[in-house]
Amino acid sequence: MPAVLTAVPSVASGEMQLVRRALAREGDAFRTIIKTHNQRLYRIARGVVRNDSEAEDIVQEAYVRAFAHLDAFRGDSSLATWLSRIVINEALGRLRKRRRTVAMPENPQAEIIRFPLNPSDDPERTMAQRQILQLVEQATDSLPDVYRTVFVARVIEGLSIEETADLLGVRPQTVKTRLHRARALVRKALDDQIGPVLLDAFPFAGRRCERLTNAVMRRLGLES
């Protein structure tokens, strides 16, 4: 007896249900979407523009645009990928506009992101962790744009080769090539100072996550 093939939905039914609830203007659905995707979208935006506050502004604008056209989401890709594309487009647009008006320096000073540390940790260990993350962020910020976006998506955010290619609109082989070069550049920047590190840079959680979520909810007129 031949096997019966069943269609597998491209996006989980739970995600589509969440989208339908948002289309019905349920505030909890919007808040869930925002909090679920804040960190990924922030990291991607910051990976492009290299500025904390501008990255937050980009993510906020991207949410507003996405929710205004949420009925266009068909589930061909995940909601995270769909939102990430909007963030990428917004961030690249800002970058192009910035370059038309201001000449970019060859070696811009990296803006180090403050990250939460456990006050109960040993002070020397806490300082070492801070220094390591600062070095990682500086090395990432120093990458050329074409490599930095791939590096942030693939290494820091943990997307697959295929997801990164889909997000950036390039071939998987292009992602592999750019990632190889990006890793080599980051390794070169770090090798003289530290050994292998866990790339857990660019956090976006706690009060910052809540602040951005509330700002988007207010703009949508859904803040209780």
The answer to whether 29 and 21 have CB atoms below 8 angstroms apart is: yes
| CATH architecture, range 12-99 | Orthogonal Bundle (1.10)
Residue 129 is predicted with a pLDDT of 64
Residue 191 is predicted with a pLDDT of 73
Where are the chain's structural domains?
Answer: 12-99, 120-203
Rounded CA-CA distance 7/12 in Å is 12
Work out the end-to-end distance of the chain between its first and last CA atoms, rounded to an integer number of angstroms. Answer: 57
Rounded CA-CA distance 37/32 in Å is 9
Instruction: Tell me which of 1.10.3720.10, 1.10.760.10, 1.10.10.10, 2.40.50.140 is the CATH number of domain 120-203.
Output: 1.10.10.10
Residue 117 is predicted with a pLDDT of 45
Residue 214 is predicted with a pLDDT of 86
Q: If you search the block for the tokens 């007896």, which residue do you land on?
A: 1
Helix (H) or strand (E) holding 79: helix 79-101
Cβ neighbours of 132 (radius 10 Å): 19
The answer to whether 143 and 182 have CB atoms below 8 angstroms apart is: yes
Residue 114 is predicted with a pLDDT of 40
The answer to whether 140 and 47 have CB atoms below 8 angstroms apart is: yes
Q: For 137-181, write each residue's pLDDT tens digit.
A: 888 888 888 898 898 888 878 888 998 898 888 999 999 999 999
Residue 159 is predicted with a pLDDT of 83
Reference 115, options 213, 39, 37, 29; nearest CA is: 39
Residue 76 is predicted with a pLDDT of 83
Over the chain (224 residues), what is each successive 10-residue block's mean pLDDT? 44 83 93 94 89 92 94 88 91 78 42 43 58 77 88 84 88 93 85 54 72 84 68
Q: If you search the block for the tokens 């269609």, which residue do you land on?
A: 7
Residue 111 is predicted with a pLDDT of 38
